[in-house]
Chains A and B, each alone.
Chain A
Amino acid sequence: MPMSEAAVALRPRSRAGRQGESLAGLLLTLPASLSYIVLLLAPTLAAVLLAFTDYELGAPSIRWIGLENFAELAEDRGFQVSLRNTLVYVGIVAPASIAGALALALLIESLTRGRALFRAVFFLPVVSLPVAMATAWQYLLHPTIGPVNALLRDIGIAGPAWLTSSDTVLLSLAFIGIWEAIGFNLVLFLAGLTAIPRELHHAAEVDGVKSTWERFRLVTWPLLGPTTLFVVTITLIRSVRTFDSVAVLTQGGPNRASEVLLYTIYTEGFTFFRLGYSAAITLVFLVIVLALMLLQTRVLDKRVHYG
């Protein structure tokens, strides 16, 4: 396209021009606005309303029951176990995958060659079909024929039934969760590290900051603040949403030992068709996600030093 010279001069627009612009703006946003209202806004509001009803799919009537669903939630041991499991899962996966990714990023960044290779290796789980990889883990962790327990047997240890014993199931799922999350966080940390000018490290060295740890503490860590904050929020939200590995490997079992929030929403809503009750759990889930986002903007933001 030839750039006309007149283009550089920004002329005041005529009224007709401004009206045309308004019309164009409205028309260009129309498909997005309509689908936003129909597919996002309305169903989200409907989900909120459903949470205050006794709606069941196929039931002849729907009744407004106020806070009854939430009162039932407060008594529902299954829901409490699910909530607790979710928090335990997040409490393991988030710190481990964040610290692990940061350590890997620092190691990879310090290499003179092979960076792209290692980045690709650790990133691979992010693009791999989670259902397929879950079945691969099912084989790896199989109590009798799985390679993990075969290895343990060779060195004289009787391995546990990783995914079928209530003592180890949540830990095993958390381990898979860390494996899935670390590459994603790694890529974000690597992007953050690239943005830190190398001169700063030289300057610190000249100023007499000799140890690597001190340079990390004084230079890298503060400048990585915004990235870290972002990674923390994203990881918390992603691990609250864990679903695939539970649905494929344990269905919440044994005895609810691996039941997590999204899986409870799924079973209540789409297996038992108690949509009102499921919507109430969805609302709890939404509040948790919103609280995590608020945490980012309100609390953590103040402590982050922007370089």
Chain B
Amino acid sequence: MADGRANPWPEAARLLVLGALGLLFLMPYLWMVSASLKPLDEIFRASLNLIPEGGGTLRNYARVLAEVPVLQYLWNGVVVCGGILFFQLLFAVPAGYAIAKLDFPGRDWMFGAVMLGLLVPYHVPALPLYVAFSWIGWLNTFAALIVPSVISVFAIFLFRQFFKALPDELIHAARIDGMNELSIVWRVILPNALPAATAFAIFSVVAHWNDLFWPLIAVTGHDRATPALAILYYRSEEAGDDFGALMAASAIMTAPLVLAFLVAQRRFVEGIATTGLKG
């Protein structure tokens, strides 16, 4: 294997280069955690020691937990990402199935609409949606955070491609067994689409947990703040230049997805690679 692409450098040299670059890449994480464990005066001394003197302190974390409703913010993130994913699958799986496997008037036209929708970044409909939501009094609600994303043309496209490759016999057999189209979708098609659904779920949750643009527009208060907004608020209202507390807050809000990634690394990478199309 090693000589499959006979490389002029020995493997040790390549490991060394990658190791050094990798360490450089991890610097923001290392310094974030390091600063979050240091008392303020140590941070202000700007020493180059990653390891805090005297073993560090958890006071920054305690301060963050005491000052802001961290659990509330994380919960908001879970509700928003979960709500969005639920509706995206609810709408896109049947639509993807119908466009891939059923013959009905307007099908090709619908697929064209999906392809067209793929071209439009979500920032474009944001302005009119904001106006509409402010009219009907939806700003600062979960609905405002969830509803604009419930339709994912990308999900429809992805499922359509995936279902297209499923054998027709599977569906015919289910029909002969007397199943209606809706139960075919949820009991036959979806279990077979789990790889695609998992990949899409990872893509969707990463995108919406990390999004700032729309939450910044749709939400102004703390009640419905997502983790991304929470850090912005915490910096402007509480922490200011106290980087210890700010880094502690950042570490807390970053942890859930990063831990999930470390646990299910392979799935994450595959999920993002297969859904890379949408960016």
Identify the stretch in A66-74, A82-90, A161-169, A263-271 within 8 Å (CB) of chain B at 4 or more residues: A263-271
Are A248 and B232 CB-contacts (below 8 A) given A125-B25, A135-B247, A139-B243?
A: yes
Known: A1-B187, A290-B119. 12 other contacts (CB 8 A): A24-B181, A29-B99, A39-B147, A39-B151, A110-B5, A131-B228, A132-B249, A133-B254, A139-B243, A150-B48, A212-B5, A247-B232
Indicate whether A188 reaches chain B with its CB closer than 8 angstroms: yes
CB-CB under 8 A from A40, the residues of chain B are 117, 120, 125, 151, 153
In the complex, which residues of chain A have a beta carbon less than 8 angstroms from the beta carbon of B136? Answer: none
8 A Cβ contacts from A122-159 to B = 122-133, 135-137, 139-140, 142, 144-147, 149-151, 154
CA distance A18 to B104 in the complex (A): 8
Residue of A33, A131, A265 ringed by the most chain B CB atoms within 10 A: A131
A28 sits at the interface (CB 8 A): yes
Q: Counting CB contacts under 8 A, is A32 at the interface?
A: yes
**Contact present for A107 and B131 (CB under 8 Å):** no
Question: A122-B25, A124-B261 given as contacts; is B98 within 8 A of A28 (CB)?
Answer: yes
A147 to chain B, nearest CB (A): 6
The smallest C-beta distance from B125 to any residue of chain A, in angstroms, reads: 3
Evaluate whether A275 and B243 lie within 8 angstroms (CB atoms) in the complex, with A32-B92, A35-B91, A43-B132 already known: no
Closest 4 CB pairs of A and B: A25-B104, A43-B125, A7-B173, A132-B250
Quick one: which of B8, B170, B182, B243 contacts A28, CB cutoff 8 A?
Answer: B182
- The residues of B that contact A112 with a CB separation of less than 8 Å are 1-2, 11
Interface string of A255-284 (1 = CB under 8 A from B): 000000010011001100001001100100
Q: List A contacts of B180 (CB < 8 A).
A: 24
- Least Cβ–Cβ distance between A245 and chain B, in angstroms: 10
Q: Is B258 an interface residue (CB 8 A)?
A: yes
Does chain B have a CB within 8 A of A3?
A: yes
Q: When A120-B262, A129-B210, A129-B253 are in contact, do A7 and B176 touch as well, CB less than 8 Å?
A: yes
A247 touches B212 (CB 8 A): yes
Q: B22: nearest residue on chain A (CB-CB)?
A: A121
Among A3, A31, A136, which residue has its beta carbon within 8 angstroms of that of B250?
Answer: A136
Bound complex: CA of A26 vs CA of B110, how far in Å?
Answer: 10
Chain B nearest Cβ from A244, distance in angstroms: 5
11 residue pairs from A and B, CB less than 8 Å apart: A4-B176, A6-B176, A7-B172, A29-B98, A31-B91, A40-B120, A131-B253, A190-B273, A201-B5, A262-B123, A265-B127
Q: Establish whether residues B276 and A119, one from each chain, have CB atoms under 8 Å apart when the complex forms.
A: no
Which of B25, B90, B173 is close to A3, meaning CB atoms less than 8 Å apart? Answer: B173
Q: Are B28 and A44 in contact (CB under 8 A)?
A: no
Main secondary structure of the interface of B (DSSP, over half): helix
Task: State in angstroms the CA–CA spacing of A59 and B186 once bound together.
Answer: 48
Closest chain-B Cβ to A109's Cβ sits at a distance in Å of: 8
Residues of A within 8 A of B124 (CB): 43-44, 47, 282, 285-286
For the complex, what is the distance from the CA of A104 to the CA of B46, rounded to whole Å? 32
Q: Is A118 interfacial (CB-CB < 8 Å)?
A: yes
Q: Let me know if A81 is at the binding interface, CB within 8 A.
A: no
A8 to B172, CA, bound (A): 8
Binds A, one of B12-20, B58-66, B193-201: B12-20
CA separation between A154 and B46, bound complex, in Å?
Answer: 11
Segment touching B, from A91-99, A235-243, A298-306: A235-243
Known A133-B250, A140-B28; contact A119-B269, beta-carbon cutoff 8 A: yes
The interface bits of chain B over 223-267 (1 if a CB of A lies within 8 angstroms of the residue's CB, else 0) are 000011101100100000001001101110110011011100110
Instruction: Determine how close the nearest CB of chain B comes to the CB of A243; give it in whole angstroms.
Output: 5
Query: Does B113 contact A205, Cβ atoms closer than 8 Å?
Result: no
Minimum CB–CB distance from B173 to chain A (whole Å) comes to: 4
Asked if A114 is an interface residue, CB under 8 A from chain B, the answer is yes
Is there an interface contact between A147 and B48, defined as CB atoms closer than 8 Å? yes
Considering the complex, give the chain B residue whose CB is closest to the CB of A23.
B104
Does any Cβ of A come within 8 Å of B102's Cβ?
Answer: yes
Q: Does chain A have a CB within 8 A of B130?
A: yes
